[in-house]
C-alpha cells in the first residue's frame, strides 16, 4: 500500500460549551477554540499506525473550509502526516460537495485507502464517507472499531446494534473511524515546529471542477428542549394516572 488519504474537518472543540448566535443562524465561533473533528483525529492516528507498521509509505491529510483550516492541517502534520492539502471554501460545505471534492483529490492522488471519521460533531451528518465511496465506486466500511490491512484487502470490525460485525473489503476502499478504534497520540512541541516546514498545498473548489451543492441549506439552529423535572409516584395506579395526564395514552 502506497498512500493513505485522511480527511479532516475543522470544528468547535468538543470541550467548549456551545452558544447560539442571537439570530439562531449558527453557533458562536469568534474567539472559540477550534480543533480537528475527534473522529477524524482517530482516523489520522490509525493511518499513522499503519505507516509505522510498514503498511503504507505516505499519509497525507486534506480539509475543506476557510483558510483558518490550515491550523488543523498543521496539527495533523505535527501528529505525523507527510503533507497536507487545503481546499479553500468560505461558505457552508454540504456532505455531497465535500464528497465530490474528495473524489477529485482521490482521482489525482490515487490513494490505496481513504480514512475519515464516521461523522463530524458539529452537524452529525454521517454521510460524507458513504457518498465518497458511492461516487468512487469502491467498497466502504463504516463505524470501524478495528482495522487490519493484509495485502490488497482490509478486515474491519464494526459496531452494530447486535454486537460486532467483521467484514473484508478490497482495496482501494473508504473506511470511517469509530470512537473505539484507537486513542490519538499527544502532539509534542518539536513535532509542532517540524510541521511548519512540511508542504501544505492550497486549492479551491472551482480549481477542482466542483460546484457547491445548494440543495441542502441550514435554516436555523435551536437549543434542545430542557428536560422536564421528574415526578415521584407511590404505586402503579399513580404512574398510570400520571402518564394519562401527560397524554401518552387515552
The secondary structure of 89-114 as a DSSP string is --S---HHHHHHHHHHHHHHH--SEE
Task: Give the list of residues 6+ apart from residue 231 with CB closer than 8 angstroms, or none.
Answer: 242
Q: Is residue 214 part of a domain?
A: yes
Task: Give the list of residues 6+ apart from residue 238 with CB closer than 8 angstroms, or none.
Answer: none
Q: Which three cell numbers stand for residue 122?
A: 458539529
Task: Give the list of residues 6+ apart from residue 209 with CB closer than 8 angstroms, or none.
Answer: 104
For 108-145, the pLDDT digits (tens) are 999 999 999 999 998 889 999 999 999 999 999 999 99
Predicted pLDDT of residue 60:
98
Q: Is residue 128 part of a domain?
A: yes
Predicted pLDDT of residue 231:
80
- CA dihedral sign of residues 92, 221, 219, 216: positive
Q: Is residue 237 part of a domain?
A: no
Secondary structure of residue 122 in the 3-state scheme = coil
Angstrom distance (rounded) from CA 96 to CA 111: 20
Predicted pLDDT of residue 41:
97
Specify whether the CB–CB gap between 6 and 42 falls below 8 A: no
Predicted pLDDT of residue 245:
86
For 158-184, the pLDDT digits (tens) are 988 888 999 999 999 999 999 999 999
Q: Which three cell numbers stand for residue 197?
A: 516546514
Predicted pLDDT of residue 68:
93
Q: Is residue 230 part of a domain?
A: no
Q: Is residue 210 part of a domain?
A: yes
Q: Which residues in the chain land under pLDDT 70?
A: 1
Angstrom distance (rounded) from CA 64 to CA 52: 27
Q: Is residue 228 part of a domain?
A: no
Q: Domains in the chain: how many in total? A: 1
Specify whether the CB–CB gap between 99 and 125 falls below 8 A: no
Q: Which three cell numbers stand for residue 116?
A: 475519515
184 to each of 25, 57, 70, 118, 227, how far by Cα in Å? 33, 20, 19, 15, 34
Q: Is residue 164 part of a domain?
A: yes
Predicted pLDDT of residue 119:
95
CATH of the domain at 59: 3.40.50.620
For residue 58, the cross-strand partners are 3
CA-based radius of gyration for the chain: 21
Angstrom distance (rounded) from CA 210 to CA 204: 9
Predicted pLDDT of residue 31:
85
Secondary structure of residue 61 in the 3-state scheme = strand
Angstrom distance (rounded) from CA 27 to CA 13: 12
Q: Is residue 171 part of a domain?
A: yes
Predicted pLDDT of residue 221:
85
Residue 151 structural domain: 3-222
For residue 200, the cross-strand partners are 84
Amino acid at each position: 500500500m502506497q498512500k493513505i488519504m485522511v480527511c479532516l474537518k475543522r470544528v468547535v472543540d468538543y470541550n467548549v460549551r456551545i452558544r447560539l448566535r442571537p439570530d439562531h443562524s449558527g453557533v458562536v465561533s469568534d474567539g472559540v477554540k477550534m480543533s480537528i473533528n475527534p473522529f477524524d483525529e482517530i482516523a489520522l492516528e490509525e493511518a499513522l499506525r499503519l505507516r509505522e507498521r510498514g503498511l503504507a509509505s505516505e499519509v497525507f491529510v486534506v480539509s475543506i473550509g476557510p483558510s483558518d483550516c490550515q491550523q488543523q492541517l498543521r496539527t495533523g502534520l505535527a501528529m505525523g502526516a507527510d503533507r497536507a492539502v487545503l481546499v479553500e471554501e468560505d461558505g457552508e460545505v454540504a456532505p455531497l460537495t465535500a464528497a465530490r471534492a474528495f473524489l477529485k483529490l482521490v482521482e489525482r492522488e490515487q490513494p490505496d485507502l481513504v480514512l475519515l471519521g464516521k461523522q463530524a460533531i458539529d452537524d452529525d451528518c454521517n454521510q460524507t464517507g458513504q457518498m465518497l465511496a458511492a461516487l468512487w465506486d469502491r467498497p466502504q466500511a463504516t463505524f470501524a472499531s478495528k482495522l487490519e490491512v493484509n495485502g490488497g484487502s482490509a478486515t474491519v470490525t464494526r459496531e452494530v446494534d447486535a454486537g460486532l460485525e467483521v467484514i473484508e473489503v478490497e482495496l482501494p476502499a473508504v473506511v470511517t473511524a469509530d470512537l473505539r478504534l484507537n486513542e490519538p497520540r499527544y502532539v509534542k512541541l518539536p513535532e509542532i515546529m517540524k510541521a511548519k516546514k512540511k508542504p501544505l498545498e492550497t486549492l479551491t473548489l472551482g480549481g477542482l471542477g466542483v460546484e457547491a451543492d445548494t440543495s441542502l441549506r441550514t435554516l436555523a439552529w435551536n437549543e434542545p428542549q430542557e428536560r422536564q423535572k421528574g415526578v415521584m409516584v407511590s404505586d402503579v395506579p399513580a404512574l398510570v394516572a400520571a402518564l394519562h395526564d401527560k397524554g401518552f395514552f387515552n
